Chain A
Amino acid sequence: MQAQKKIASNSTSIIRKIIEDKKAISAFIRGEKSIKDLHERGIKFANPI
């Protein structure tokens, strides 16, 4: 039961983090948040091209 709760809790936090990170990145592009704000959320830019 504890293990199930832990998995559920992880799922909630991962999906919620993806959604909240998306909002933060969109705000950064619009100039409403800084790189520092994104770093505080643990967001890392990538250069895959």
Chain B
Amino acid sequence: MNEELNLPTPYKVFKVSCDSEPFYQFTTKNDTVYDVVFISCENYFPDNTVCKDRVFMLNFDISKEVVGKRTYDANIEITIAGIIISFFEGVENVMLFVCDSTDSKQRNRKITFNKWYNNHKEKLKILKIDFSKPYYISIISREDNQLLPQLHELLKVQIEEFSEITK
């Protein structure tokens, strides 16, 4: 059964599950359905007991849409921002945002997400650290999160070494 979250967002957000795996979902005025999925990052930092339980990868995309009805809708951005605000009520939560590169539209995704971030960052009191090469990866946390410098260094080293190796 889908459980409605009490978020102050223009679109109602529901917690749903598929084979007992939880994620979030909302439907726009055009009947477009968005899925928002958080993934545990514990596999990426198995040796770091502090980071591994507090870092989550955010994913969201359209899961269902009516052909020909896609239009600009500011309420999508506000609803996603509302979900992110709720996520950061967990003081120590850290978000990893990776731009999907499957269809080579990763740069467009980065630009859109940056625009959304800039629209809401002051209200959220969060910080974002971006890596652009070889992939668009961002770490986002509350300004008062003590884990951020540690995670930044951890990911920076990994990305620099990866970039060196794959040159």
> Which A residues have a C-beta under 8 Å from some C-beta of B?
7-8, 11-12, 14-19, 21-23, 25-31, 35-36, 38, 42-49
Contacts and interface: CB of A to CB of B under 8 A. Distances in A.
A44 B40 contact: yes
Contact of A26 (B61, B137, B158): B61
A49 B44 contact: no
Interface string B31-70: 0000101111011100000000000110111110000000
B101 A19 contact: yes
Contacts of A23: 100-102
10 smallest CB-CB distances across A and B, nearest first, come from: A11-B161, A45-B21, A15-B162, A47-B22, A44-B40, A29-B61, A46-B40, A35-B19, A22-B98, A26-B100
B11 interface: no
A5 to B, nearest CB: 10
Given A19-B98, A26-B61, 6 more contacts: A15-B159, A15-B162, A23-B100, A26-B59, A31-B63, A46-B38
B24 interface: yes
Contact of A35 (B18, B98, B135, B162): B18
B161 A7 contact: yes
Given A19-B101, A25-B39, A29-B35, A45 B158 contact: no
B75 interface: no
B87 interface: yes
Contact of B40 (A27, A35, A36, A45): A45
B50 to A, nearest CB: 16
B135 A30 contact: no
Nearest to A23: B102
B16 to A, nearest CB: 11
B90 interface: yes
Nearest to B33: A29
